[in-house]
């Protein structure tokens, strides 16, 4: 059974169609990348799977649970980290993790959840400082800890290393890959093509609300005679935008 099945998903805002019969599948335990230009429909797709937007037409299944009828159960097994996510700046890092962990006391002891979040964030003694003293990179690492500490069966990460320097971005990539090795399924969106190539088992390129190419990074590079995923992206984008395509 696939971890995620998206079939013929349609979403419109007014007269503008955001998603156009979008379909793809994500296997259990893989890191799957959804990439595309701004406005292609990536964030709308992620927010729909995360139950934050209603399905207008089409099907979404998360580990056999169907949206929208099983939305409450789906929320229990996934975690969503938006690109623009923030934390309560008046709290200390550990206090913030404690606050979030309390909502998952039905799964295990909050102290165990927090301990895992502290380890994932890897902020050292700074975990005991107020969040408003953190750099952007430190805040993002705290939020990654928050997103993964509950051991979701599906983690949805929108631009997980957004705004991070090389060191912090590498640490975030390692954390996500380690989670996948432990069996977590990860669906991520990123504008960083190197990150996508390094992290993802498979990639889907979205253009104008539909998937126009998908496969492993290596398969895509061979198919489009490209040296890297960035070049694949540019060639697919050019082909998709061509008249009659």
pLDDT digits (tens, 9 = 90+) for 202-217: 999 999 999 999 999 9
For the residues 182-200, what does the mean pLDDT come to? 91
Q: How confident is the model at residue 194 (pLDDT cuts 50, 70, 90)?
A: confident
For the residues 50-64, what does the mean pLDDT come to? 94
Instruction: Give the pLDDT score at 239.
Output: 80
In sequence order, the 6+-apart residues with CB closer than 8 A to the CB of 12 are 18, 56
Q: State what percent of residues in the chain have pLDDT above 90.
A: 69
CA atoms within 13 A on the CB side of 212: 25
Q: How confident is the model at residue 244 (pLDDT cuts 50, 70, 90)?
A: low
User: Is the predicted pLDDT of residue 107 greater than 80, yes or no?
Assistant: no
Q: CB 92: neighbour CB atoms within 10 A? A: 17
pTM (2 d.p.) = 0.91
As its CATH architecture, domain 4-85+154-241 has 3-Layer(aba) Sandwich (3.40)
The string of pLDDT tens digits covering residues 155-176 is 999 999 887 888 888 888 888 9
User: Is the predicted pLDDT of residue 150 greater than 70, yes or no?
Assistant: yes
Q: CA-to-CA distance for 127 and 170, rounded, in angstroms?
A: 19
Least confident of 1-5, 7-11, 36-40: 36-40
For the residues 180-191, what does the mean pLDDT come to? 92
Instruction: Give the pLDDT score at 172.
Output: 87
Q: How confident is the model at residue 242 (pLDDT cuts 50, 70, 90)?
A: low
Q: How confident is the model at residue 114 (pLDDT cuts 50, 70, 90)?
A: very high
Least confident of 132-136, 159-163, 195-199: 159-163
Tell which residue, 158, 232, 242, has the closest CA to residue 208.
Answer: 242
């Amino acid at each position: 059974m696939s971890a995620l099945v998206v079939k013929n998903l349609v979403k419109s805002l007014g007269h503008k169609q955001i998603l156009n019969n979008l379909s793809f599948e994500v296997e259990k335990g893989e890191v799957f990348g959804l990439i595309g230009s701004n406005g292609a429909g990536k964030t709308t797709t992620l927010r729909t799977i995360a139950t934050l937007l209603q399905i207008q037409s089409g099907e979404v299944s998360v580990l056999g649970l169907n949206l929208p009828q099983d939305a409450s159960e789906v929320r229990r097994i996934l975690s969503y980290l938006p690109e623009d996510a923030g934390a309560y700046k008046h709290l200390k890092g550990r206090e913030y993790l404690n606050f979030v962990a309390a909502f998952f006391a039905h799964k295990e002891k909050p102290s165990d959840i927090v301990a895992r979040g502290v380890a994932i964030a890897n902020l050292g003694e700074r975990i005991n400082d107020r969040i408003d003293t953190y750099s952007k990179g430190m805040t993002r690492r705290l939020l990654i800890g928050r997103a993964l500490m509950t051991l979701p069966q599906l983690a949805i990460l929108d631009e997980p290393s957004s705004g991070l320097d090389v060191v912090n971005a590498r640490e975030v990539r390692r954390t996500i890959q380690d989670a996948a090795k432990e069996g977590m399924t990860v669906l991520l969106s990123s504008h960083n093509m190197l990150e996508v190539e390094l992290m993802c088992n498979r990639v889907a390129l979205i253009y104008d609300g539909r998937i126009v190419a998908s496969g492993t990074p290596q398969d895509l590079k061979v198919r489009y005679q490209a040296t890297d995923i960035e070049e694949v992206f540019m060639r697919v984008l050019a082909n998709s935008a061509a008249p009659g395509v």
